[in-house]
A and B are shown apart, each in its own frame.
Chain A
């Protein structure tokens, strides 16, 4: 960690950390979407509903998922129109094809709300202009994101994570080892991701050669003695974790975390310390 002043931790920080990555046993928030629920068996659905009834996080996420399912229902039409107009003006690459005007989508099949309307598409010149604006906006968004990450990431991103800090990755957060450690690690520790039924863990050399790979049910995973024995002092290693669903799909990934085992003192230095 740098010598920057660490912001004071408030209730909100603790609550966010308490639910970071989902509380133990919680499904991912998307599980409460109607389409996802419909794909479950009756028994699975009732288990999910029972869980949401007793879990504040899932109860809240269920509200947000239902709001998504509701689409524009209940929203003021003029507000939706206002947003739509902004989107057509400023999110042009997705909104503007180079083709002829499209027919209105069929609500029943596409899931588009019945009040939806389609306006004529702009020509290619306009699309090209909006691409330029879009690219500039993208650069700004990325730059803003990098700025926020640089100044506010806690702890800082690789390659110099703080000793003992948590590396916040895509969604899997790696806990230890990170940065410099005194002894070869015996285990790799990360935060459980709600909905994950297993994890793929990789230990890599600095040139990204995979030194060891395993699957684990829950964090942490113990490093086999033969692997630990190959780790050398003064050498950096990285490790990463993928959270997996029951069918083996990737649910979330960590960023790679780097650690280095502190070298032993040189013999001459050790002798100097000897009285």
Chain B
């Protein structure tokens, strides 16, 4: 069987066959061949560092391997693959941030905050969250807002954002983060301090 003549969906059907075996392994390998360089390229863009990107790509394919059986063909495989890759990338960044925050807190001795305030923030502060979104849209330059989102929400590093957006200025994404933060601080800084947060 020439696997190259099969569609992604046909390959997946073979790859997840219950009895596995050589055909399933070959189908998985064919899928890998189709997409691994695409994923590698995206991981490089997302991380901006090839070692990090290699780790990310590895985790992406690990996740694909684990979850291929849950792919139900409701979207294109490439779309599903992107969704997996993006989720893995963001989760990795989130985990790294939390490790870093934990390490910093160990050094600085974090101030205890009333846990109820945190729970309240998710429920009762929907308006505050909407205000953050409004400020991002209305107070910041579009490029500033885009950089802030990629850095703080998606967890990309500043050099990676500079590359992704092909920013020509000398300090790259950092300049936009500084500018954007300053504008948000003007609007939310005092409030955030009252919440026990940091800027």
Give the docked Cα–Cα distance between A35 and B3 (Å): 23
List which A59-105 residues lie within 8 A (CB) of chain B. Answer: 59-60, 63-65, 67-68, 70-76, 79-80, 82-84, 86-87, 90-91, 93-99, 102-103, 105
CA distance A70 to B44 in the complex (A): 12
Asked, given contacts A9-B197, A18-B129, A60-B150, whether A97 binds B192 with beta carbons under 8 Å apart, the answer is: no
Q: Are A1 and B42 neighbours in the complex by a CB distance under 8 Å?
A: no
List, in ascending order, chain B residues with CB within 8 A of A5's CB. Answer: 105, 110, 112-113
Pair B65/A35 contact, Cβ less than 8 Å = no
Query: Is A162 positioned at the interface, with any CB of B under 8 Å from its CB?
Result: yes
Are A98 and B78 also in contact (CB < 8 A) when A6-B113, A80-B41, A90-B58 are?
Answer: no
In the bound complex, CA of A68 to CA of B45 (Å): 9
Interface size range on A against B: 35 or more
Q: A217 within 8 Å of B by Cβ?
A: no
Q: Are B42 and A71 in touch, CB under 8 angstroms? A: yes
A36 pairs with B120, CB closer than 8 A: no
Write out the residue numbers on chain A whose beta carbons fall within 8 Å of the beta carbon of B105.
Answer: 5, 7-8
Partner of B86, one of A12, A29, A83: A29
Chain A residues proximal to chain B, CB less than 8 Å: 1, 5-19, 23-24, 28-30, 33, 35-36, 53-57, 59-60, 63-65, 67-68, 70-76, 79-80, 82-84, 86-87, 90-91, 93-99, 102-103, 105-106, 109-113, 115-116, 118, 121, 127, 134, 137-138, 141, 144, 148, 151-152, 154-155, 162-166, 173, 175-176, 189, 249
What would 13 A/B residue contacts be, using CB atoms closer than 8 Å?
A11-B197, A19-B133, A29-B83, A53-B142, A57-B149, A59-B142, A64-B42, A70-B45, A72-B38, A83-B54, A84-B36, A94-B64, A102-B4
